[in-house]
Homo-oligomer: A and B are copies of this chain.
Amino acid sequence: MLKLNENYLNLQAGYLFPEIARRVSAHQAAHPEADVIKLGIGDVTEPLPPAVTEAMAKAVAEMADASTFHGYGPALGYDWLRQAFAEHDFQSRGCDVSADEVFVSDGSKCDAANILDIFGAGNRVAVCDPVYPVYVDTNVMAGNAGPPKPGDDSGRYSGLVYLPMTADNGFVPEPPPEDASAPPLDLVYLCSPNNPTGAAATKDELAAWVAYANRHGSILLYDAAYADFIQDPSLPRSIYEIEGARDCAIEMRSLSKTAGFTGTRCGYVVIPKTLERLSSSGQPVSLHALWSRRQSTKFNSVGYVVQRGAEAVYTAEGRTQCKSLIDGYMANAAAMRTALTDAGLAVYGGENAPYVWVGCPDGADSWGFFDQLLTQAHVVGTPGAGFGSCGEGYIRFSAFNDRAKVDRAMSRVVGQLGALSDR
Contact = CB atoms under 8 A, between A and B. Distances in A.
Given A53-B61, A69-B48, A117 B15 contact: no
A4 to B, nearest CB: 5
A376 interface: no
A215 to B, nearest CB: 13
A47 B72 contact: no
Given A4-B118, A47-B66, A71 B262 contact: yes
A141 B294 contact: yes
Given A114-B298, A138-B298, A297-B134, A60 B56 contact: yes
Contact of A120 (B6, B18, B113): B6
A392 to B, nearest CB: 23
Contacts of A41: 72
Contact of A298 (B64, B65, B69, B109): B109
Interface stretch (A170-178, A303-311, A362-370): A303-311
B290 A8 contact: yes
A80 interface: no
Contact of A2 (B69, B217, B293): B217
A8 B293 contact: yes
A297 B64 contact: no
B71 A63 contact: no
Q: How many copies of this chain does the complex contain?
A: 2
Contacts of A4: 118-120, 277, 279, 285, 287, 290
A218 B3 CA distance: 10
B53 A66 contact: no
> Looking at A11, A53, A304, which has the most chain B CB atoms within 10 Å of its CB?
A53
Contacts of A404: none
Interface size class of A (residues with CB under 8 A): 35 or more
A206 B286 CA distance: 43
Given A117-B141, A304-B264, A110 B299 contact: yes
Interface string A257-286: 000111111000000000001111001010
A104 to B, nearest CB: 12
A370 to B, nearest CB: 19
Contacts of A305: 56, 60, 264, 305-306
> Looking at A69, A277, A402, which has the most chain B CB atoms within 10 Å of its CB?
A69
> Looking at A41, A72, A302, which has the most chain B CB atoms within 10 Å of its CB?
A72
Interface string A106-128: 11011001100111111100000
A281 to B, nearest CB: 9
Given A263-B73, A293-B11, A117 B5 contact: yes
Nearest to A186: B2
Given A122-B3, A298-B114, A64 B48 contact: yes
B60 A47 contact: no
Nearest to A261: B303
18 contacts: A1-B278, A2-B119, A3-B122, A4-B118, A4-B119, A5-B290, A6-B120, A15-B296, A18-B296, A45-B66, A71-B260, A113-B299, A138-B297, A141-B297, A263-B303, A265-B301, A265-B303, A306-B306
Q: Which 9 pairs, one residue from A and one from B, show the smallest C-beta to C-beta distance?
A: A3-B120, A113-B298, A53-B64, A43-B71, A70-B263, A71-B262, A47-B69, A2-B186, A264-B303
